[in-house]
Amino acid sequence: MRISRAILTTAAVALLLPLSACGSGGDGGGAGGSDASGKPEGEITFQTWNLRANFTPYFEKVVADFEKKYPGTHVKWIDQPAEGYADKISADAAGGTLPDVVNVSPDLVAPLAGAGLALDLDKAAGQYRSEYLAGAWASHEVPGRHGTYAFPWYLNTGPLFYNKSLFKKAGLDPDAPPKTYDDLFSDALRMAERSGGKVATLANVPTVEDFGRYGVPLMNKAGDGFAFNDPKGVELLTKYKQLYDAKALDPQALTATPESTGKKFLTGAVAMNPGSALDLGNFKKQAPSLYRNIGITDQITSTGHANMYVMGVMVNSRTRHTPAAVAFAHFVTDASNQMAFAKQVAIFPSTAGSLDDPYFTEDDGSDETRVRVAAAKSLKTAVNYTPVLFSEQMKTALRNQVAKALQGKESPEAALDNAVRECDTLLKQQG
Amino acid sequence: MTAPAPVPAPPPAPRVPPTPRVVPAARRAPGIRRQLPTSPWLFAAPGLLIAGGFALYPFVSTLVNSLTDRRVLLPGRFVGLANYRELLHDDMFWTGLRNSVLYVVGVVPALVVLPLLLALLVRRHIPGVAFFRSAFYTPVVASVVVVGLIWVWLLDERGLVNSLLEAAGAGRVGFLSDPWLLLLSAMAVTVWKGLGYYMIIYLAALANVPRELHEAAAVDGAGPVRRFLSVTVPAVRSTMVLVAALSSVAAFKVFSEVYLMAGPSGGPAGEDTTLVMLVQRTGTGLTGRVGYASALSVVVFAVTVALMLLVLRADRREET
Q: What is the pLDDT of residue B124?
A: 82
Strand A101-104's sheet: what is its strand order?
Answer: A73-80, A42-49, A101-104, A309-315, A151-156
Instruction: Calculate mean pLDDT across residues B137-166.
Output: 91
Which helix (H) or strand (E) is A163 found in, with range? strand A160-163
Which helix (H) or strand (E) is A45 found in, with range? strand A42-49
Residues of A in contact with B263 (CB under 8 A): 255-257
User: Integer distance in angstroms from the first to the last C-alpha of chain A?
Assistant: 48
Distance CA(A47)–CA(A27), nearest Å, equals: 22
Delineate the domains of chain B, giving CATH numbers in brackets.
Answer: 52-89+287-320 (no CATH), 99-283 (1.10.3720.10)
Q: Which of residues 32-91 of B touch A (CB under 8 A)?
A: 33, 35-36, 38, 41, 48, 52, 56-57, 60-61, 63-65, 68-78
Q: Is the pLDDT of residue B11 over 90?
A: no
Give the alpha-carbon dihedral of A27, A29, A34, A35, to 10 degrees: 170
Show the CA angle centred on residue B301, arms to residues B299 and B306, nearest 5°: 95
Asked if the C-beta of A127 comes within 8 angstroms of chain B's C-beta atoms, the answer is no
Least confident among A272-276, A402-406, B27-31:
B27-31
Show the CA angle centred on residue A291, arms to residues A290 and A297, nearest 5°: 100
Least confident among A61-65, A243-247, B92-96, B138-142:
B138-142
Q: Which amino acid is at B4?
A: P
Q: For A112, which of B68, B286, B289 is closest by C-beta distance?
A: B286
Is-contact A78 A99, C-beta < 8 A? yes
Instruction: Examine domains A42-157+308-379 and A160-305+388-430 and report if their fold is the same.
Output: yes
Closest to B269 (Cα-Cα) out of A5, A173, A231, A244: A244
Asked if the C-beta of A94 comes within 8 angstroms of chain B's C-beta atoms, the answer is yes
Tell how far CA A258 is from the center of its chain. Answer: 12
Q: For B72, which of A3, A94, A404 is closest by C-beta distance?
A: A94
SS3 A373: helix
Cβ count within 10 A of residue A88: 14
Q: How many CA atoms lie within 13 A of B268 on its CB side?
A: 23
Instruction: Calculate mean pLDDT across residues A336-350.
Output: 93
Q: Comparing B135 with A237, which gets the higher pLDDT?
A: A237
Distance CA(A192)–CA(A243), nearest Å, equals: 9
pLDDT tens per residue, range A249-284: 998 899 888 888 888 999 888 999 998 877 888 888
Closest to A384 (Cα-Cα) out of A181, A218, A264: A218
Q: What is the pLDDT of residue B16?
A: 47
pLDDT tens per residue, range A221-238: 888 899 999 999 999 999
Query: How many helices and strands in chain A, by DSSP H and E?
Result: 19, 8
pLDDT classification of B248: cutoffs 50, 70, 90: very high
Ordered DSSP codes for chain B: -PPPPPPPPPPPPP-PPPPPPPPPGGGSPTT--PPPPSHHHHHHHHHHHHHIIIIIHHHHHHHHHTTB---SSS---B-TTHHHHHHHT-HHHHHHHHHHHHHHHHHHHHHHHHHHHHHHHHTS--TTHHHHHHHHHHHHHS-HHHHHHHHHHHHSTTSHHHHHHHHTT-----TTTSHHHHHHHHHHHHHHHHHHHHHHHHHHHHTTS-HHHHHHHHHTT--HHHHIIIIIHHHTHHHHHHHHHHHHHHHHT--HHHHHHHTTTTSGGGTT--HHHHHHHHH-STT--HHHHHHHHHHHHHHHHHHHHHHHHHHHHHH-
Instruction: Calculate mean pLDDT across residues B267-295.
Output: 93
Instruction: Calculate mean pLDDT across residues A305-333.
Output: 95
Q: Is the pLDDT of residue B314 over 50?
A: yes
Is-contact B186 B254, C-beta < 8 A? yes
Q: What is the pLDDT of residue B320?
A: 65
Asked if the C-beta of A7 comes within 8 angstroms of chain B's C-beta atoms, the answer is no
- Beta strand A151-156 with A42-49 is unpaired
Q: For chain A, what are the domain ranges?
A: 42-157+308-379, 160-305+388-430
Q: Comparing A239 with B156, which gets the higher pLDDT?
A: A239
Instruction: Calculate mean pLDDT across residues B39-44.
Output: 88
Distance from CA of A369 to the nearest CA of B (A): 34
Q: What is the pLDDT of residue A33?
A: 64
Q: Is the pLDDT of residue A58 over 70?
A: yes
pLDDT averaged over every residue in chain B: 87
b (16+ CB within 10 A) / e for B228-261: beebbeebbeebbbbbbbbbbbbbbbbebbbbbb
Residue to mutate among A400, A401, A411, with most B CBs inside 10 A, is: A400
Asked if the C-beta of A95 comes within 8 angstroms of chain B's C-beta atoms, the answer is no
Residue to mutate among B95, B286, B290, B298, with most A CBs inside 10 A, is: B286
- SS (HEC) of A226-244: ECCCCHHHHHHHHHHHHHH
Q: What is the pLDDT of residue A131?
A: 95
Asked if the C-beta of B298 comes within 8 angstroms of chain A's C-beta atoms, the answer is no
ipTM of the complex: 0.80
Backbone angles phi and psi of B222, in degrees to 5: -75, 135
Q: What is the pLDDT of residue A381?
A: 86
Residues of A in contact with B287 (CB under 8 A): 111, 391-393, 426, 430
Report how far apart, in Å, the C-alpha atoms of A240 and of each of A177, A196, A271, A419, B41 are. Answer: 19, 18, 16, 16, 67
Q: Is the pLDDT of residue B3 over 80?
A: no
Is-contact A109 A150, C-beta < 8 A? yes
Closest to A153 (Cα-Cα) out of A342, A317, A318: A342
Least confident among A2-16, A345-359, B58-72, B165-179:
A2-16
DSSP single-letter state for residue A394: H
Show the CA angle centred on residue A147, arms to residues A145 and A153, nearest 5°: 120
SS3 A310: strand
Distance from CA of B19 to the nearest CA of A (A): 26
Distance CA(A270)–CA(A250), nearest Å, equals: 7
Distance from CA of A94 to the nearest CA of B (A): 6
- Cβ contact A429–B76 (<8 Å): no
pLDDT classification of A28: cutoffs 50, 70, 90: very low
Is-contact A145 A389, C-beta < 8 A? no
- Cβ contact B289–A94 (<8 Å): no
Q: What is the pLDDT of residue B265?
A: 87
Q: For B263, which of A1, A111, A257 is closest by C-beta distance?
A: A257
Q: What is the pLDDT of residue B263?
A: 87
Instruction: Calculate mean pLDDT across residues A148-164.
Output: 93
Could you please state the CATH topology (level 3) that the domain comprising A42-157+308-379 is classified under. Answer: D-Maltodextrin-Binding Protein; domain 2 (3.40.190)
Backbone angles phi and psi of A224, in degrees to 5: -115, 15
Residues of A in contact with B174 (CB under 8 A): 251-252
Residue to mutate among B260, B287, B297, with most A CBs inside 10 A, is: B287
Q: Is the pLDDT of residue A368 over 90?
A: no
pLDDT classification of B39: cutoffs 50, 70, 90: confident
| CB within 8 Å of B288: residues ≥ 6 apart | A90, B71, B72, B282
- Cβ contact A400–B269 (<8 Å): yes
Q: Is the pLDDT of residue B104 over 90?
A: yes
Q: What is the pLDDT of residue B89?
A: 94
Q: For B76, which of A22, A267, A430 is closest by C-beta distance?
A: A22
Report the interhelical angle of B237-252 vs B290-319 (nearest 10°): 160
Q: Comparing A43 with B30, which gets the higher pLDDT?
A: A43
Show the CA angle centred on residue A115, arms to residues A112 and A120, nearest 5°: 65
- Beta strand A42-49 with A101-104 is parallel
- Cβ contact B287–A267 (<8 Å): no
User: Integer distance in angstroms from the first to the last C-alpha of chain B?
Assistant: 76
Distance from CA of B94 to the nearest CA of A (A): 15
Closest to B243 (Cα-Cα) out of B303, B143, B311: B311
pLDDT classification of A197: cutoffs 50, 70, 90: confident
Distance CA(A132)–CA(A139), nearest Å, equals: 11
Q: What is the pLDDT of residue B316?
A: 78
Q: What percent of chain A has pLDDT over 90?
A: 67
Q: Is the pLDDT of residue A6 over 90?
A: no
Asked if the C-beta of A269 comes within 8 angstroms of chain B's C-beta atoms, the answer is yes
Residues B127-134: contacts with CB under 8 Å, at least 24 apart: B133/B199
Q: What is the pLDDT of residue B103?
A: 96
Q: Is the pLDDT of residue B243 over 60?
A: yes
Q: What is the pLDDT of residue B264?
A: 86
pLDDT averaged over every residue in chain A: 89
Q: How many CA atoms lie within 13 A of A213 on its CB side?
A: 17
Query: Looking at domain A160-305+388-430, does it have CATH number 3.40.50.300?
Result: no
Least confident among A61-70, A279-288, B250-259:
A279-288
Residues of A in contact with B35 (CB under 8 A): 2
